[in-house]
Amino acid sequence: MSRADRKKNDKSKENNKIGRKLFCISILLFLLIFGIKTVDNAFRSMLLIDEPKVFGHLRLDESIHQIYFLGEKVFVNEEDIREVYGYMTDEVEVFIQMIKDKKGQLVKRNEQ
């Protein structure tokens, strides 16, 4: 086995290890969230508590959402999110265009 083949095998083993670790972490995170949600639902049903849940979502209107997170209620207006998203995408496009222009200027200077 040549040195290049050994290096290739070592890299593939490292990639497999990273993939396994990422898979295990994602499964553990899923189980953690699922377990918290299950215990919260069981606890609330036993004690007949009608307070905000640990995690939750409720659509109040066509554009207004209520999100529960750790007992806190957050109201989100979908129109505001779309407006901010549009603004951010416009700014990113302007930034990318500026970088392309600067790159063109640098290439022209190097050619001279």
Q: What does the pLDDT look like over 58-104, one tens digit per residue?
A: 888 888 998 888 778 889 988 999 999 999 999 999 999 988 888 77
pLDDT of residue 11: 67
Domain map (residue ranges) of the chain: 1-50
Q: Which residue has the tokens 């951010």?
A: 88
pTM for this model (two decimals) = 0.48
* Gap between the Cα atoms of 34 and 112, Å rounded: 63
Exposure letters 51-88 (e unless 16+ CB within 10 A, then b)? ebbbeeeeeeeeeeeeebeeeeeeeeeeeeeeeeeeee
Tens digits of per-residue pLDDT, 5-58? 666 666 677 777 888 899 999 999 999 989 988 888 888 888 887 776 778 888
Q: Who wins on pLDDT, 1 or 88?
A: 88
